[in-house]
Each structure stands twice: as structure tokens, then as C-alpha cells.
Amino acid sequence: MPSTSGAPTPAATLENHDAIELPSAGTVTVIASSARADTYPIHITRTLEEAAARVRELVGGAQVAVVTETTVVRLHGDALLAALGQEGLAPEVRVVEAGEANKSLDQATGLWHWLAAGTLGRHDVLLTFGGGVVNDLGGWAAAGYMRGMRYVNVPTTLVGQVDAAIGGKLAVNHERAKNLIGGFHQPLGVVSNIAFLDTLDVRHVRAGLAEAIKKAIIASPAYWRRIETDAEAIVARDHDALERLVLAASAIKAELIARDPYEYDARRTLGFGHALAHPVETVTGYGPVLHGEAVAFGMVVEARMANARGLLPDAELERIVRLLRRVGLPTAAVDLGAAVDGERLLAATEKVRLARGGSLRWVLPVGIGETVIADDVTEAELRDALERSGIGVAGPTGA
Ligand SMILES: NC(=O)c1ccc[n+]([C@@H]2O[C@H](COP(=O)([O-])OP(=O)(O)OC[C@H]3O[C@@H](n4cnc5c(N)ncnc54)[C@H](O)[C@@H]3O)[C@@H](O)[C@H]2O)c1
Ligand SMILES: [Zn+2]
């Protein structure tokens, strides 16, 4: 640091930094590199009181506000506020309409206006209290407010507890595509209270199971065995079985996120079942087929592709189909809640391929706990796997 001889260096200079040289040429390079690390806990609790105590621990002395939706606030709102009150927290509450259609830019904008009218600062905490829709929407609002305020996820669905609330991957939908507008911002913590699942209807329990089974197929034979053992108990909402399911899913997702938090690795496997799930949701109009149901169907189609390539033995394909059927998830077109037109599905899949820069990466299982990524699946292979899953697609079968 330059200083004139004998004169003391002023206190408010760039201490420990070299003086900045002025450039002589017309191009300047920005090197924006840092070693930011977000570490946070996922607490799995059995009672609301315990959940509120964990929330209190996470937020410390910060102010808190809650974003939730109409169904969740009706079923659990008063109880949550009472439990938070016991912990000395009296948050403002913002309620949005329930449903995927409200995971929208309009709702996010509404949240920003609400936050701006309130007194929360960047280091205060927004609680997202609801299913994946509220976790994604509230987290995205937190990510955008004041360039990123803190938030805690309190997921109330199984999809939320095994998947959506973990990882800081946030988005709202756009009329052109699902999850089109979003970003990454990790939460301060996650509090998954099993007791919230008591009021969830069985179809949504099954949808959550699809995301759990996905994790078993891509990463963990031990988790697969656990789900095989607990399947009926989970569907019956047995708390011990649900806690085992959520705890293991949290550990597996935490490990996969630690390896690649911002999805730089194109060979990521968490998208298993999703290359077709999103097109199925799109062509059926986001509603009649739940995301988890579309994922189950998409996993079967990818497993059939793997089987046709000789990568996945018949017996393993059967095992996958059998477990999905056992828990009541769709494994063929007739099981889906809406008719799926093959040609429209292919067109929607093609759109996803274009959006991803020209190549679709399929995640092909080679056994339970192991997958390979293929970006060379031909249209003929896709048509064949779809046909074997009950979706007829006539027309050319060339590459
Ligand atoms: N960010 C991620 O990594 C990630 C991962 C998976 C899914 N997602 C997103 O999550 C969303 C799906 O999540 P979801 O299935 O939780 O949807 P959701 O939030 O719409 O909840 C499903 C239904 O359950 C109701 N509900 C919520 N909690 C309840 C409770 N305790 N009792 C009774 N009913 C309750 C809701 O009102 C809704 O009708 C999708 O938008 C998907 O894209 C995100
Ligand atoms: Zn998913």
C-alpha cells in the first residue's frame, strides 16, 4: 500500500489490498470467484412443538414472516402460529391461493410488494409453510428480495419433505414452460414435521414416494430395500415409516447437492424420470397428472429404453415396475389420469430438447442404485419405449 513518507496511513483505506493500477488497454477482465459455502440442517420432527422449537433455533433473534397457501393455512395455520407463539414468535402471514397455477411471477411480485410494505430486512427470515409450490415460490421471492434474504422451509407435503424443500433450487412457472423463471439460493434450514402428512391425501403421498423411489434407483440400493420393506406402511402414513423415508431422502439429496449444488454437471442423475415427466404434465395441462405420477411414468419409459439397449436386465425392469405398481403409481399410459397423445408428447419432448441446447440427456438405469447418462437416444428408441408403455405413436420411426 503506497503512503507518503512519514505520514500515517488513513484508517479507512483498502487495508491489505494493493493499490489498483489503471489499465492501458481497452479490455477489462472481471474475475468473480469466491468460495461461498452454504451449510444448513434438515431437522425431521414428529410434533409441531418440536418443529417450532427448531425454527426458533434457526432464526435466532431475527424477525420472521410466513408465506403459506389457502389449504395449508386452513388445516395447520392456527396450530403453527400457536406453536411459534410459544417460542416468542409472532409473524405476519401472507396467504396465496393453493395450487400449481399460483407458482407464478404474479404471486412472486405480490410477495415482493408485501415484503416491501413490511419491516423485514435481509437478515430476517421468511418461513415457507406449504408444499413444493410454496417452497419454490416463497424461496424464489426470498432470493430476489434485497438480493437474497434468509428463509426457512417448513414443507407440509411428502414431495416437499423428500425433495422440493432441499437444495435451494427455486422457480416459478411461465406460460411457456414450467419452472422457467428462477435461480438458486439455499435456505437457512429445513424443518420437516412428519405430523403435517396426516392430512395429506393418499394420492399426494404416492406422488412423494415417486421422488423417493427415484433417489433409490439413482443412488441407493439400501434406500430401495427400505422402501420395499415399508411401502404399505408409508402409504398408510405410519409415522415411523415416514420418518425413515424422509430422513434417508434428506441424506441422499444432501449428498447429491454437495457434489453439484448449482447443476454444473450435465451428467446429473436427479433428473431421472423428468425428461418425459415435464412433457406429460405440459400436454395434459398441468393438473390431471400430478408431478410425481408423471415422474413414475417417465422412470418406467427410461427403464424400458435401458432394457431395450440391453443395459437393464428384464428382472430389474420388472422389479422397478412392480414396486411402483405396489404403491399405486402409474407405470403405463392407462394408469395416467388423462389421455396422452403420442405425437403431442413427442413434440413437447422435442421442445425440451431445443430448450436444453439441442440434446436431451436420458438417465438410463442399469440396476438399482446405478444409472448411465445417454444423449444419443434416437426418436425410434423413444417411440418404441413409449409404445411398450401404452402410448402409440404412428408415423416415421427414423432417427
Ligand atoms: N425445487 C425443487 O427441487 C423441486 C423438487 C420437486 C418438486 N418441486 C416442485 O414442487 C411442486 C410440487 O410439490 P407438491 O406436490 O408438494 O405440490 P403442492 O404444494 O401443490 O401441494 C400438493 C397439494 O397438497 C396440498 N397440501 C399441502 N400440504 C398439505 C397438508 N399437510 N395436508 C393436506 N393438503 C396439503 C396443497 O394445497 C396442494 O393441493 C411442483 O411445482 C414441483 O415443480 C420442486
Ligand atoms: Zn421432480
Looking at the structure, tell me whether residues 285 and 383 fall in a common domain.
yes
Q: Is residue 369 part of a domain?
A: yes
- Higher-confidence position of 36 and 151: 151
Nearest ligand to the C-alpha of residue 200?
1
The answer to whether residues 174 and 106 touch, using CB atoms and an 8 Å cutoff, is no
* Whole-number Å distance between alpha carbons of 336 and 334: 6
The overall longest dimension of the chain from CA atoms, in Å, is 87
Is residue 209 in contact with ligand 1, taking CB distance under 6 Å? no
CATH code of the domain in which 271 resides:
1.20.1090.10
Is residue 173 in contact with ligand 1, taking CB distance under 6 Å? no
Q: Is residue 16 part of a domain?
A: no
Q: Is residue 5 part of a domain?
A: no
Is residue 200 in contact with ligand 1, taking CB distance under 6 Å? yes
pLDDT at 5: 45
The answer to which of 83-97, 219-233, 267-281, 300-314 has the lowest mean pLDDT is 267-281
Q: What is the mean pLDDT of residues 69-85?
A: 98
Say whether pLDDT at 60 is over 60.
yes
Domain that holds residue 294: 203-399
- Three state DSSP letters for the chain: CCCCCCCCCCCCCCCCCCCCCCCCCCCCCCCCCCCCCCCCCEEEECCHHHHHHHHHHHHCCCCEEEEEEHHHHHHHHHHHHHHHHHCCCCCEEEEECCCHHHCEHHHHHHHHHHHHHCCCCCCCEEEEEECHHHHHHHHHHHHHHHHCCEEEEEECCHHHHHHHCCCCEEEEEECCEEEEEEEECCCCEEEEEHHHHHHCCHHHHHHHHHHHHHHHHHHCHHHHHHHHHHHHHHHCCCHHHHHHHHHHHHHHHHHHHHHCCCCCCCCCCCCCCHHHHHHHHHHCCCCCCCHHHHHHHHHHHHHHHHHHCCCCCHHHHHHHHHHHHHCCCCCCHHHCCCCCCHHHHHHHHHHHHHHCCCCCCEEEEEECCEEEEECCCCHHHHHHHHHHCCCCCCCCCCC
Looking at the structure, tell me whether residues 194 and 213 fall in a common domain.
no
Q: How far is the CA of 157 from the centre of ligand 1 (A)?
A: 6
Q: How far is the CA of 98 from the centre of ligand 1 (A)?
A: 9
The protein residue with its alpha carbon nearest to ligand 1, atom 9, reads 132
Is residue 80 in contact with ligand 1, taking CB distance under 6 Å? no
Is residue 196 in contact with ligand 1, taking CB distance under 6 Å? yes
The answer to which of 98-107, 157-166, 226-235, 284-293 has the lowest mean pLDDT is 284-293
Looking at the structure, tell me whether residues 58 and 195 fall in a common domain.
yes
Question: 182 has which bridge partners?
Answer: 171
Of the residues 48, 157, 270, which should be mutated to test ligand 1's pocket, given the most ligand atoms within 8 Å of the CB? 157
* Whole-number Å distance between alpha carbons of 16 and 352: 49
Is residue 153 in contact with ligand 1, taking CB distance under 6 Å? no
CATH code of the domain in which 166 resides:
3.40.50.1970
Q: What is the mean pLDDT of residues 304-331?
A: 98
The protein residue with its alpha carbon nearest to ligand 1, atom 3, reads 164
pLDDT at 162: 98
Question: 127 has which bridge partners?
Answer: 66, 152
Is residue 155 in contact with ligand 1, taking CB distance under 6 Å? no
Looking at the structure, tell me whether residues 162 and 264 fall in a common domain.
no
118 is written with which cell numbers? 413490511
pLDDT at 186: 98
Looking at the structure, tell me whether residues 211 and 139 fall in a common domain.
no
33 is written with which cell numbers? 470467484
Of the residues 102, 163, 204, which should be mutated to test ligand 1's pocket, given the most ligand atoms within 8 Å of the CB? 204
For residue 308, which amino acid is it?
A
pLDDT at 355: 75
Q: How far is the CA of 73 from the centre of ligand 2 (A)?
A: 24
- Digit-coded pLDDT (tens) for 101-111: 899 999 999 99
The protein residue with its alpha carbon nearest to ligand 1, atom 30, reads 200
- Digit-coded pLDDT (tens) for 294-314: 999 999 999 999 999 999 999
Is residue 167 in contact with ligand 1, taking CB distance under 6 Å? yes
Q: How far is the CA of 166 from the centre of ligand 1 (A)?
A: 13
- Three state DSSP letters for 20-40: CCCCCCCCCCCCCCCCCCCCC
Number of domains in the chain: 2
Say whether pLDDT at 32 is over 60.
yes
Is residue 168 in contact with ligand 1, taking CB distance under 6 Å? no
Q: What is the mean pLDDT of residues 276-289?
A: 89
Q: How far is the CA of 384 from the centre of ligand 1 (A)?
A: 32
pLDDT at 395: 54
Which of these three, 155, 182, 200, is where a domain ends? 200
Question: 190 has which bridge partners?
Answer: 42, 153
Q: What is the mean pLDDT of residues 16-31?
A: 87
Q: Is residue 60 part of a domain?
A: yes
Which of these three, 200, 231, 250, is where a domain ends? 200
* Whole-number Å distance between alpha carbons of 167 and 144: 17
Looking at the structure, tell me whether residues 109 and 135 fall in a common domain.
yes
User: What's the whole-number average pLDDT of the chain?
Assistant: 92
pLDDT at 2: 42
Q: Which of 222, 196, 220, 191 shows the shortest CA–CA distance to 208?
A: 196
pLDDT at 335: 96
Binning pLDDT at 50, 70 and 90, where does residue 398 land? Answer: very low
* Whole-number Å distance between alpha carbons of 130 and 111: 15
Is residue 136 in contact with ligand 1, taking CB distance under 6 Å? yes
Q: Is residue 301 part of a domain?
A: yes
Q: How far is the CA of 396 from the centre of ligand 2 (A)?
A: 31
* Phi/psi of residue 323, nearest 5 degrees: -65, -40
* Phi/psi of residue 167, nearest 5 degrees: 115, -10
Q: Is residue 19 part of a domain?
A: no
* Whole-number Å distance between alpha carbons of 162 and 112: 28
- Digit-coded pLDDT (tens) for 171-223: 998 877 788 899 999 999 999 999 999 999 999 999 999 999 999 999 999 99
Q: What is the mean pLDDT of residues 14-30?
A: 83
Q: Is residue 71 part of a domain?
A: yes
Looking at the structure, tell me whether residues 153 and 192 fall in a common domain.
yes
Q: Under 8 Å CB-to-CB from 121, ≥6 apart: which residues?
A: 63, 146, 149
Looking at the structure, tell me whether residues 220 and 162 fall in a common domain.
no
Q: What is the mean pLDDT of residues 62-82?
A: 98
pLDDT at 15: 60
Looking at the structure, tell me whether residues 192 and 53 fall in a common domain.
yes
- The position carrying cell 422451509 is 153
The protein residue with its alpha carbon nearest to ligand 1, atom 12, reads 132
Looking at the structure, tell me whether residues 344 and 288 fall in a common domain.
yes
175 is written with which cell numbers? 406460460
Task: Give percent of the chain above pLDDT 90.
Answer: 80
- Digit-coded pLDDT (tens) for 111-142: 999 999 999 999 999 999 999 999 999 999 99
pTM equals 0.92
Looking at the structure, tell me whether residues 193 and 295 fall in a common domain.
no
Q: Is residue 31 part of a domain?
A: no
The protein residue with its alpha carbon nearest to ligand 1, atom 33, reads 200
Which of these three, 200, 215, 241, is where a domain ends? 200
Q: Which of 147, 139, 74 shows the shortest CA–CA distance to 108?
A: 139
Looking at the structure, tell me whether residues 249 and 186 fall in a common domain.
no
